[in-house]
Amino acid sequence: MNFHDKSFLRDHCRSIMAFYDKRIVDKSGGYFQNFLDDGQVFAPNVRHLVSSTRIVVNYAVASDMLARPDYKAIAKHGLDYIEQVHWQSDSECYAWTLDNHLPIDMTQQAYGYAFVLLAYANCIKHRIIDTKEQLYRVFELLEVRFWQKEHGLYADEITVDGALSNYRGQNANMHLCEALIAAYEATEDNVFLERALLVAENITQRQANLSDGLVWEHYTQDFEIDWQYNKDDPKNLYRPWGFQPGHQTEWSKLLLILNRYQPKQWLVDKAAQLFEYAYQTAWDQQCGGLVYGFDVDGVWCDDDKYFWVQAESFAAAALLYQQTGQAKFLDSYQALWQYSWQHLIDHKHGAWFRVVTRDNRAYSNEKSSAGAKCDYHTLGACFEVLRAL
């Protein structure tokens, strides 16, 4: 099968969207976010800011990429929920989680703000809203609450009682880089592009130089390496221990997107280096696919296979192939797709499975869950390859 074909990619995106189309909208507000493999909804009242925003992005982008103008109303439905329910006007903060439309966790996460910014940017880009005011408001909140000028990076978390946590991480910065690129595309305001480039350089060059050229996940308050953080929890959903192959390749993708707008040789070189090391270290020759994490010696510390790791990696491989013309990247792209097609895509009900064991056995029958999966990575990866093609 030719996975590097525009018709195939569009058809695959349509099959993913079809899984969600008939069951995603909650008429009482927002989206249902928890689905079993067959599409049955569970925990219908539970909402997470990450899923609420990512689903808006899915529908906003698909409205144009798949020529489905009806998707714009679904995206606006979700954006309204973010503005009216996640956003708490009295405290001017976003609820991290909700139950029955009421806030449960009011911890403020830069990671969550990144996806709010991304949602607004895509709603502007795809003509779902016609004002940029909210996007700039979110950017200003990030400036005041999380930006650390002395480090050129964002802090991570403000506790419920208003204290800035000592934890610093790369993951929020990576997704803020992604959101800043989208904000630049939506507004053509260079402030967003320059900030995205600064964050990218500081994480993938300065910070990576502290860990032999790869991107480590966790840092101290002063952005020094924290080798011990979550060492006993390599499967943590947002802050796993170890080098994350999927984050090396996701950065590879982002560096190549930045290179479109401000070409720099270091962006291409670093993108190739991060991808090649991650792929060579994490590819499972016996069972296929990329494992989830490896330690400082390159020894796997989590050999599960996650959907998003394969998706972000095939997007990076496609962009590297486009940029360099080197066949090895196309070979990697094909191998990642072949593995995913065989083990991670649900050909019966649609969409992707979230995670399987090393030898490709299911852990559960939960396909998507609040905060963990809504096929944002898989759709986004396909859309990025389509842009490249």
Catalytic residue IDs = 247, 377
Distance, in Å, from the CA atom of 88 to the CA atom of 92, rounded to the nearest integer, reads: 5
Distance, in Å, from the CA atom of 229 to the CA atom of 270, rounded to the nearest integer, reads: 26
Q: Which of 14, 23, 183, 202 is nearest to 114 (CA)?
A: 183
DSSP 308-375: HHHHHHHHHHHHHHHHH--HHHHHHHHHHHHHHHHHTB-TTT-SB-SEE-TT--BS-SEEEBTTTBSS
Q: Which of 288, 344, 245 is nearest to 12 (CA)?
A: 344
Q: Provide the angle, in degrees to the nearest 10, between the axes of the packed helices 71-81 and 110-125.
A: 140
Distance, in Å, from the CA atom of 311 to the CA atom of 308, rounded to the nearest integer, reads: 5
297, 229 contact by CB (below 8 A): no
Distance, in Å, from the CA atom of 340 to the CA atom of 343, rounded to the nearest integer, reads: 5
Distance, in Å, from the CA atom of 290 to the CA atom of 246, rounded to the nearest integer, reads: 8
Q: What residue type is 304 in one-letter code?
A: D
Measure Cα distances from 22 to 26, 74, 183, 270 in Å: 11, 11, 30, 42
Q: Provide the angle, in degrees to the nearest 10, between the axes of the packed helices 265-282 and 327-343.
A: 50
E strand or H helix that includes residue 174? helix 170-187
Number of Cβ within 10 Å of residue 107's Cβ equals 16
Residues facing residue 102 across a β-bridge? 99
Listed in sequence order, the residues at least 6 apart from 144 whose beta carbon sits closer than 8 Å to its beta carbon are: none
Q: Which of 380, 209, 231 is nearest to 310 (CA)?
A: 380
> What is the end-to-end Cα distance of the chain in Å, rounded?
17
